[in-house]
Amino acid sequence: ILDSPLFLNTKDDLKEYFDGKKSYHQTDFYKQQRMSRNILMKAGKPLGGKWTYDTENRKKYPKNKKAPSIHFPENNQYYEEARKYTEKNFGENYGNLTSYQLYPITFQEAEKWFDQFMELRFSDFGVYEDSIVEREHFLHHSVISPLLNIGLLSPENVLKEAIDYAEEYKIPVNSLEGFVRQILGWREFVRGIYLYEGTFQRNKNYWKHHNPLPTSFYTGKTEIKPIDSTISKVLQTGYAHHIERLMIFANFMNLLKLNPDDVYQWFMEMFIDSYDWVMVPNVYGMSSFSDGGKMSTNRTSAEAIILKK
């Protein structure tokens, strides 16, 4: 495995935290990254006095609040060519192809996409990052994971631009920290887990769940409203934000005692940002606890009242 500009840490960098450990904690890794890189630090202490503002970032989206509009890239010949090819050769595959281009496919489009996030959605990202709204696809999320994963954006530039923008335009610290944590904390942590424990994780089934994944997860016809409405969004965009993935999909899949291998395959097939290094730790570790607790202290499993909130 070679080092890559798609990540902030080299293999040698990761050794400082991961070597010699039997279990791993994202918060400890995140603090180490902040200190070693002097990111969101002031006089050796975290900016604003707290390492994380996660507890402040869980507000319900107001019913009378209108989500920011999304300006999609303009269609070009490459998208049209790819769309026609896909319709001809993979017309029976799951998902819907739009007549308009959903995601950037050039460096210039990717930069505009990220700039749009900073200008229109960054300020309220923190407070509403855990919100779920039935008919809203992106809310205040940046939706740059597919662009980072394919190399149209680099995490180093993204962090620098976000921090500079936040300082100039007085972005609330909970939004800035929450965004930085997704890139510097979770993304880098998950990649480290994959390199150190990925093989172990994908061969474990701690809860001995063996039920096959129903085909209704591919069609959005489970007859469970929050599940079906979120699957519908995924079929349209190939995307759902992290709370939808954890508290709706992973939660329900755990309650159904689905085989984690089937769950992994579903996430790999359905999401635009799916790569092996992302999905192995997130499915076998973070969401299902199938690895027995290498990176998480519990599994995502909750009663209906949690989803209702």
Structural domains in the chain?
22-59+69-193 (1.25.40.80), 200-302 (1.10.579.10)
pLDDT, residue 134, reads 93
Round to whole Å and give the CA distance between 83 and 123.
34
pLDDT, residue 298, reads 73
Confidence of residue 297 (pLDDT cuts 50, 70, 90): confident
Round to whole Å and give the CA distance between 279 and 307.
23
**CA distances from residue 39 to 80, 162, 268, 274 in whole angstroms, order as listed:** 41, 12, 32, 28
Closest C-alpha among 65, 76, 37, 4 to residue 185: 37
- Please report, in angstroms and rounded to a whole number, the separation of the first and last CA atoms in the chain: 43
DSSP structural state of residue 121: T
pLDDT, residue 302, reads 59
- The 10s digit of each residue's pLDDT in 15-37 is 999 999 999 999 999 999 999 99
Name the residue type at position 132. Answer: I
- The 10s digit of each residue's pLDDT in 116-168 is 999 999 999 999 999 999 999 999 999 999 999 999 999 999 999 999 999 99
Query: Sign (positive/negative) of CA torsion 294, 297, 303, 304?
Result: negative
Which pairs from 159-167 meet CB under 8 Å and 24+ separation? 159/8, 159/39, 159/183, 159/184, 161/114, 161/118, 162/118, 162/122, 163/39, 163/40, 165/118, 165/122, 166/122
Confidence of residue 308 (pLDDT cuts 50, 70, 90): low
Q: Which residues are CB-contacts of 29 (< 8 A; sequence separation ≥ 6)?
A: 17, 185, 188, 189, 192
Structure tokens that stand for 203 in this block = 């061969």
Structure tokens that stand for 26 in this block = 């994202």
Structure tokens that stand for 261 in this block = 């291998």
Identify whether the C-beta of residue 137 lies closer than 8 Å to the C-beta of residue 237: yes
Structure tokens that stand for 300 in this block = 């995502």
Name the one residue in this structure whose structure tokens are 């998950």: 190
- The 10s digit of each residue's pLDDT in 187-246 is 999 999 999 999 999 999 999 999 999 999 999 999 999 999 999 999 999 999 999 999
Torsion of CA 98, 64, 231, 251, to 10 degrees: 150
- The 10s digit of each residue's pLDDT in 255-287 is 999 999 999 999 999 999 999 999 999 999 999
Name the residue type at position 21. Answer: K
Name the one residue in this structure whose structure tokens are 């291998």: 261
pLDDT, residue 282, reads 97
Structure tokens that stand for 114 in this block = 């990220």
- The 10s digit of each residue's pLDDT in 55-105 is 889 899 999 999 999 999 999 999 999 999 999 999 999 999 988 999 999
Round to whole Å and give the CA distance between 177 and 50.
9
The CA-based diameter of the chain, rounded to the nearest angstrom, is: 59
Residue 88: CB atoms within 10 A of its CB come to: 8
pLDDT at 303 over 80: no
Q: Which residues are CB-contacts of 138 (< 8 A; sequence separation ≥ 6)?
A: 67, 70, 121, 239, 241
pLDDT, residue 21, reads 95
